[in-house]
């Protein structure tokens, strides 16, 4: 793991670390999901400590900058907004900060497989491609139903946001 020189211990997640969610469940981190040479992993696979067959994803802001924390808090709100949409990953718990130096964290349901991984196993059939496209369109429909538009591209030159939306209720101004 690479430590940031500006905030060396901020939100440091490690294999085997246990965190407790607002629901009272305890999660044990098992492995980072994305590792980059220039950043400390901030998205981890985790298991429920009472039943290690139940998998989760623990996510926190990529860094301690005000912009990252603000964007992450908005991402939490977006997950709450779309929690009933089966085509968008559900937020199942929140992990409150234990110390002032701790970041907010969320617990997400895992997907069985990703399109990226599945496409490396074999070619998709025409029927599967249609189903994928229909699911994608349905997820976008749910985003639009809330008065939001998914743009798919970043607004600033900072780190890429997970979800960028335009709030149509504010005359098309960007919401980050």
Contact of 28 with 17, CB cutoff 8 Å: yes
Tell me, what's the pLDDT at 57? 92
Is residue 10 in some structural domain?
yes
Whether residue 85 is contained in a domain is answered as yes
End-to-end, the C-alpha distance of the chain in Å comes to 28
Which residue is listed with tokens 């490396």?
Answer: 120
Whether residue 26 has pLDDT greater than 70: yes
129 within some domain: no
Backbone CA torsion sign across 25, 30, 36, 38: positive
What residues make up the domain containing 11? 1-112
- 161 part of a folded domain: no
pLDDT tens digits, one per residue of 42-60:
899 999 999 988 899 999 9
Q: Residue 55 domain-assigned?
A: yes
Residue in 86, 33, 87, 24 with CA at minimum distance from that of residue 57 = 33
- Burial degree of 130 (CB within 10 A; 0-12, 13-18, 19+): exposed
Is residue 91 one of the residues assigned to a domain?
yes
Token readout for 10 is: 């901020």
27 in a structural domain: yes
Any domain includes 17: yes
The CATH number given to whatever domain includes residue 63 is 3.30.200.20
Show the CA angle centred on residue 78, arms to residues 39 and 167, nearest 5°: 110
Number of CB atoms found within 10 A of residue 141's CB: 11
Dump pLDDT digits (tens) for 118-160.
777 888 899 988 988 888 888 888 888 877 766 655 544 444 4
Backbone angles phi, psi at 75, to 5 degrees: -65, -40
pTM higher than 0.85, yes or no? no
Could you report the per-residue pLDDT of 10-20, keeping only the tens digit for each? Answer: 678 899 999 99
Number of folded domains that form the chain: 1
Outline where the chain has alpha helix (H): 66-81, 115-121, 126-145
Dist. CA 59–CA 61, nearest whole Å: 7
């Amino acid at each position: 793991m690479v430590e940031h020189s500006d905030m060396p211990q901020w939100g440091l997640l490690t294999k085997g670390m246990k965190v407790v969610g607002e629901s009272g469940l305890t999660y044990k981190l098992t492995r980072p999901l994305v590792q980059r040479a220039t950043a400390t992993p901030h998205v981890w696979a985790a298991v429920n400590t009472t039943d290690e067959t139940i998998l989760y994803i623990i996510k926190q802001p990529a860094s301690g900058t005000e912009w990252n924390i603000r964007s992450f808090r908005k991402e939490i709100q977006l997950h709450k907004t779309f929690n009933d949409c089966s085509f968008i990953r559900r937020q199942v718990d929140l992990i409150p900060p234990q110390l002032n130096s701790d970041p907010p964290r969320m617990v997400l349901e895992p997907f069985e497989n990703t399109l990226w991984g599945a496409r490396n196993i074999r070619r998709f059939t025409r029927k599967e491609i249609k189903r994928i496209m229909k699911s994608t369109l349905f997820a976008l429909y749910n985003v639009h139903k809330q008065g939001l538009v998914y743009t798919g591209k970043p607004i600033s030159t900072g780190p890429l946001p997970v979800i960028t939306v335009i709030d149509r209720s504010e005359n098309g101004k960007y919401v980050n």
